[in-house]
Amino acid sequence: MKFRNSFRIGLIPVAALAWGSIALAQAPTPAASPSAAPAPPAASSPATPAPAPSAAPAPAPTGAPAPAASPSAPPATPPAAAQTPAPAPVQTADPFGEEITLEPKKVVIIKGTANWDSAFDTLIEAFKALTTLLDKQGIKASGNSMIVYTSTDDTGFTFLAEIPVEQDPKNLTKDMSIGRSPDGKALKFVHRGSYDNMDNTYEAITNHLDEKKLEAKDTFIEEYITDPLKTAEDTLVINVYVPLK
């Protein structure tokens, strides 16, 4: 199968930089030079005799020793655990190539064709037609809108626009029907941004399949997590499912 406007790109390896630490040698601290021997004392003058040594040692200071820190007083430095703020929530990356099993759902379907230049506008019109039908009959969607690509080429594609429902709508047009969404093993990828920028996502998908030597079926599915009728095109979130053979 040929993915829409996809092409392969090579990965450019990046050499890792290794940093080595340089130890600074410190010269040993030179030992202090011994003091010069004191000169012999000069003879005491008879008129000024040397003072006699004190008969008793100096009395101990009368002040009481400094009291030890009270055990109830808080420590000068709080424990490390108290100083460390709670870690921020970890944000996981979007799944890329996650293996899942698609469960079939009852869906109302409209079949269509489109060319790449006006692809998103055509898909929006298909979703509007299905939504209008359901709104008139008071039927609420039971899941996210989907596009199933049944064939693609360089100029355009054929597709099935699907909306999950719990009950069968009436008064279907000739290009509408009730059916089941695709099921079975598939790989899940996530696209964020405009529909026009999905080419980058499909490039990555093609490269992933080549790298893992996986063989896909001749179809792929886009599940619109954000409502394409109410969401700005550059903030779309779309799950891409690639069924495997």
Please report, for the domain that includes residue 208, its CATH number.
Answer: 3.20.80.10
The proportion of the chain whose per-residue pLDDT surpasses 90, expressed as a percent, equals 59
Asked whether the predicted pLDDT for residue 175 surpasses 70, the reply is yes
The total of structural domains in the chain comes to 1
Identify whether 29 is part of a domain.
no
Q: What does the alpha-carbon distance between residue 205 and residue 165 come to, in Å, rounded to a whole number?
A: 30
- Inside any domain, residue 133: yes
Q: If you average pLDDT over residues 210-224, what whole number do you get?
A: 94
Q: What is the DSSP letter of 15?
A: P
Q: Is residue 127 part of a domain?
A: yes
Domain extent at residue 161 = 96-243
pLDDT in tens, 159-172: 999 999 999 999 99
Does 58 reside within a domain? no
- Is the whole model's pTM more than 0.75, yes or no? no
Residue 169 inside a domain? The answer is yes
Residue 101 lies in a domain: yes
| 121: in domain | yes
Sequence-ordered list of residues with C-beta below 8 angstroms from that of 106, at least 6 positions apart, any chain = 164, 165, 166, 168, 178, 179, 180
**What φ, ψ does residue 172 adopt, rounded to 5°?**
-70, 145
CB 164 within 8 A of CB 106: yes
Contact 175, 109 (CB under 8 A): no
Q: What is the pLDDT of residues 4-62, one digit of tens each?
A: 544 333 333 333 333 333 333 444 444 444 444 444 444 444 444 444 444 444 444 44
Q: Does 89 fall in a domain?
A: no
Cα Rg of the chain (Å, integer): 41
Confidence band, pLDDT 50/70/90 cuts, at residue 86: low
